């Protein structure tokens, strides 16, 4: 399981097709809505810097 960075839910990367690659890392989301929120405002959801 991985964590959806937008809503914090656990996501199974094998089951979800909603994903986004950023800076060499792949992020998985529970829904299209979470993916869109992430793409529009990455800085808010990424940990660190």
- Which residues of the chain form contacts with Zn ion (CB under 5 A)? 4, 6-7, 30, 34
Both ends of the chain: CA-CA distance in Å?
24
Tally of CB atoms within 10 A around 44: 10
What is the spatial distance between Cα 49 and Cα 33, in angstroms, rounded to a whole number?
24
How far apart are CB 44 and Zn ion at their closest, in Å? Answer: 14
Which CB atom, from 2 or from 7, has the smaller least distance to Zn ion?
A: 7
In the bound complex, what is the minimum distance in angstroms from residue 19's beta carbon to Zn ion? 12
- Shortest distance (Å) from residue 9 CB to Zn ion: 5
């Amino acid at each position: 399981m991985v964590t959806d960075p937008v809503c914090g839910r656990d996501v199974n990367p094998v089951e979800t097709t909603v994903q986004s690659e950023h800076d060499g890392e792949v992020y998985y989301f529970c829904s299209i809505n979470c993916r869109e929120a992430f793409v529009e405002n990455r800085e808010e959801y990424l940990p660190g810097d």
